[in-house]
């Protein structure tokens, strides 16, 4: 509807009947507009093809002359615009009691069918009945347009969702071609097809979380949340409220209702990292969820059903902990329905260079720097190293090497990036090395990096203008930056 009226196209080859339609519709000019009149099937198609949204309802004389007519024409009109409504009118003389004829017309896409008045009457049809038929057809068109829009939106959002999942699959793809890694990838596929809980065991940094994400994104649950909780990161007295949430007013500080992590994971996957660190009381509550699929929200009388797949990970030997009564045996069996063991990097040496090259490429792309050349000795050293921090350590080393701007990666460079040798190999740019025990806040680490990096660039430039230029900032900003970083 382009003018707030129902727009009509008349397809009629008899001048007299065109006039009768006009007369019939005249009293309803405020709501109905005759937009155009054509006399053949061919002209009809030509017109609606080039003016797709101009008409709402076609009033079609069944007996128009020319090749394209009747059911065939209706079908062709619907092919151009399936929401366009067709009202068929025929001569009084034919088909008055032929139900099959009328049914056939409806089946080919007409929304209504009526016989014209005898020729001695000025109206083509009883006017109000005719207008009601047109209004009904128009309502049908509106509904069909709405349905199409919804369908399109649904297809769009579905393809967006699929797109996001594909992106996640790419982002979390597991690198490695060792037989151990190949077998892990196959196991992930098998496990993803089931809904059973999984226990992932492996040293720190071997990729346990990555494996858990892969199981999630390859499973039916991929459209729902993947919620991860690092058990030791939650203080003991908050574990229950974090996992299960609470109702408003459940305790003094409960000003608002809070959804627990289990609720957030409903329909999806819940990843419990470092499960060995979960206190015994929380273990008992977790067991209840795994057994009954129900959570007890603090302050709520009735338990609440959740549908969650649990994947837990540990770098500890849970059997020893069970023996020491620090980990519940019943919980262990509930979690360990399926399991994956991730071998340390030193036991799958074929993966090292493959991971290294992959990380180098990604880091260089991310930081927009040239890819350094990896030397033979460099590769040999990487492969021989025992990697106590596994893949995470390897990834960190790569980032350091890339940020240091090394052009060729040899033994010295890797040793320096590992922090096991003097960092002079990098022409004075030394990255701070942090141990697991003394991790500074991100802001502090960033500041330290910026300070060392700017100092390094300045040392290798002749003037401040050159330094600013290399850093890609204006000279005035460079001075401000130096002040900020406490340089000069």
Ligand X SMILES: Nc1ncnc2c1ncn2[C@@H]1O[C@H](COP(=O)(O)OP(=O)(O)OP(=O)(O)O)[C@@H](O)[C@H]1O
Residue 277 binds Mg ion, judged by CB under 5 A: no
Contact mark string toward Mg ion, 31..70, x via CB under 5 A: ----------------------------------------
Residue 260 binds ligand X, judged by CB under 6 A: no
Which residue from 295, 292, 290, 231 is spatially nearest to 262, judged by alpha carbons?
A: 295
Site for ligand X in 351-370 (CB under 6 A): 355
Give the shortest CB-275-to-ligand X separation in angstroms: 11
Residue 395 contact among ligand X, Mg ion, none, beta carbon within 5 to 8 Å by kind: ligand X
Count of residues of this chain found to bind Mg ion when the rule CB under 5 A is applied = 2
Residue nearest to ligand X (CB): 207
Residue 296 binds Mg ion, judged by CB under 5 A: no
Give the shortest CB-364-to-ligand X separation in angstroms: 16
The residue among 311 and 457 lying less far from ligand X, judged by its C-beta, is 311
Give the shortest CB-367-to-ligand X separation in angstroms: 16
Give the shortest CB-482-to-ligand X separation in angstroms: 33
The residue among 229 and 482 lying less far from ligand X, judged by its C-beta, is 229
Give the shortest CB-398-to-ligand X separation in angstroms: 11
Residue 12 contacts residue 64 (beta carbons within 8 Å)? yes
Quick one: which of 61, 209, 296, 412 contacts ligand X (CB under 6 A)?
209
Tokens describing residue 115: 């016989």
Options 388-396, 400-408, 423-431, 453-461: segment touching ligand X (CB under 6 A): 388-396
Residue 216 contacts residue 261 (beta carbons within 8 Å)? no
Count of Cβ atoms closer than 10 Å to residue 390 Cβ: 23
Count of residues of this chain found to bind ligand X when the rule CB under 6 A is applied = 18
Give the shortest CB-209-to-Mg ion separation in angstroms: 4
Contact mark string toward ligand X, 218..257, x via CB under 6 A: ----------------------------------------
Maximum separation of any 2 CA atoms in the chain, in Å: 109
Site for ligand X in 188-207 (CB under 6 A): 202, 204-207
Please measure the distance between the N-terminal and C-terminal CA atoms of the chain and give it in whole angstroms: 71
Give the shortest CB-323-to-Mg ion separation in angstroms: 24
Residue 20 contact among ligand X, Mg ion, none, beta carbon within 5 to 8 Å by kind: none
Question: Residue-wise over 25-37: b if at least 16 C-beta within 10 A, else e?
Answer: beebeeebbbbbb
Give the separation between CA 346 and CA 343, rounded to whole angstroms.
8
The residue among 76 and 209 lying less far from Mg ion, judged by its C-beta, is 209
The residue among 76 and 273 lying less far from Mg ion, judged by its C-beta, is 273
Question: Would you give the DSSP letter of residue 370?
Answer: P
The residue among 263 and 273 lying less far from Mg ion, judged by its C-beta, is 273
Give the separation between CA 345 and CA 125, rounded to whole angstroms.
85
Which residue from 219, 212, 201 is spatially nearest to 310, judged by alpha carbons?
A: 212
Options 242-250, 304-312, 387-395, 419-427: segment touching ligand X (CB under 6 A): 387-395
Residue 204 contact among ligand X, Mg ion, none, beta carbon within 5 to 8 Å by kind: ligand X
Quick one: which of 12, 203, 273, 351 contacts Mg ion (CB under 5 A)?
273
Question: What is the number of helices (H) and of strands (E) in the chain?
Answer: 19, 16
- Helix H or strand E segment including 309: strand 309-314
* Sign of the Cα pseudo-torsion (219, 225, 230, 235, in order): negative
3-state secondary structure 81-146: CCCCEEEEEECCCCCCCCHHHHHHHHHCCCCEEEECCCCCCCCCCCHHHHHHHHHHHHHHHHHHHH
> Coil, strand or helix: which one is 226?
strand
* Sign of the Cα pseudo-torsion (462, 468, 471, 472, in order): negative
Residue 209 binds Mg ion, judged by CB under 5 A: yes
Residue 400 contact among Mg ion, ligand X, none, beta carbon within 5 to 8 Å by kind: none
With left for phi above 0 and alpha for psi between -120 and 50, is residue 22 left, alpha or beta?
alpha
Residue 116 contacts residue 124 (beta carbons within 8 Å)? yes
The residue among 327 and 381 lying less far from Mg ion, judged by its C-beta, is 327
The residue among 92 and 320 lying less far from ligand X, judged by its C-beta, is 320
Give the shortest CB-388-to-ligand X separation in angstroms: 12
Which residue from 134, 121, 127 is spatially nearest to 16, judged by alpha carbons?
A: 121
Residue 175 binds ligand X, judged by CB under 6 A: yes
Give the separation between CA 426 and CA 406, rounded to whole angstroms.
7
Tokens describing residue 1: 């509807």
Give the shortest CB-45-to-ligand X separation in angstroms: 58
Site for ligand X in 439-458 (CB under 6 A): none
Give the separation between CA 242 and CA 298, rounded to whole angstroms.
10
Give the shortest CB-342-to-Mg ion separation in angstroms: 10
> Coil, strand or helix: which one is 267?
coil
By the criterion CB under 6 A, which residues form the site for ligand X? 174-176, 202, 204-210, 273, 313, 315, 355, 391-392, 395
Binding residues for Mg ion, per CB under 5 A?
Answer: 209, 273
């Amino acid at each position: 509807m382009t003018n707030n009226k129902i727009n009509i196209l008349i397809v009629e080859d008899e001048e007299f009947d065109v006039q009768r339609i006009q007369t019939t519709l005249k009293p309803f000019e405020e709501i109905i507009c005759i937009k155009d009149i054509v006399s053949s099937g061919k002209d009809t198609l030509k017109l609606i093809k080039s003016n797709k949204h101009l008409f709402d309802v076609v009033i079609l004389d069944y007996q128009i002359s020319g090749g394209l007519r009747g059911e065939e024409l209706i079908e062709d009109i619907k092919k151009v615009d399936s929401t366009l409504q067709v009202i068929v009118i025929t001569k009084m003389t034919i088909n008055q009691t032929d139900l099959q004829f009328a049914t056939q017309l409806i089946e080919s896409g007409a929304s209504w069918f009526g016989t014209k008045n005898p020729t001695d009457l000025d109206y083509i049809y009883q006017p109000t009945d005719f207008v009601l038929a047109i209004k009904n057809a128009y309502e049908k068109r509106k509904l069909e347009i709405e349905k199409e829009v919804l369908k399109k939106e649904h297809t769009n959002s579905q393809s967006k969702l699929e797109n996001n999942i594909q992106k996640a699959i790419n982002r979390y793809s597991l690198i490695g071609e060792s037989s151990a890694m190949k077998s892990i990838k196959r196991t992930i596929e098998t496990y993803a097809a089931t809904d059973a809980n999984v226990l992932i065991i492996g040293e720190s940094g071997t990729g346990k979380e990555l494996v858990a994400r892969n199981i999630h994104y390859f499973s039916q649950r991929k459209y729902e949340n993947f919620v991860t909780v690092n058990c030791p990161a939650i203080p003991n007295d908050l574990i229950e409220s974090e996992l299960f949430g609470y109702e408003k007013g459940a305790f003094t500080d409960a000003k608002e209702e809070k959804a627990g992590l289990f609720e957030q994971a409903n329909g999806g996957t819940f990843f419990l990292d470092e499960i060995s660190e979960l206190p015994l009381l929380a273990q008992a509550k977790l067991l209840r969820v795994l057994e009954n699929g129900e959570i007890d929200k603090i302050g709520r009388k009735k338990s609440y059903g959740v549908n969650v797949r649990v994947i837990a990970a540990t770098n500890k030997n849970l059997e020893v902990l069970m023996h020491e009564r620090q980990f519940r045996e019943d919980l262990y069996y509930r979690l360990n329905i399926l399991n994956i063991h991730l071998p340390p990097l030193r036991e799958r040496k074929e993966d090292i260079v493959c991971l290294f090259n992959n990380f180098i490429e990604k880091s260089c792309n991310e930081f927009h720097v040239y890819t350094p050349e990896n030397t033979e000795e460099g590769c040999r050293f990487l492969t021989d190293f025992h990697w106590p921090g596994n893949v995470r350590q390897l990834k960190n080393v790569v980032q350091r090497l890339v940020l240091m701007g090394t052009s060729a990666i040899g033994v010295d460079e890797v040793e320096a990036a590992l922090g096991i040798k003097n960092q002079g190999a990098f022409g004075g740019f030394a990255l701070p090395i942090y141990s697991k025990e003394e991790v500074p806040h991100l802001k502090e680490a960033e500041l330290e990096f910026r300070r060392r990096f700017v100092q390094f660039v300045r040392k290798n430039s002749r003037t401040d203008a050159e330094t600013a230029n290399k850093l890609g900032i204006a000279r005035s900003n460079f001075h401000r930056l130096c002040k900020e970083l406490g340089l000069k």
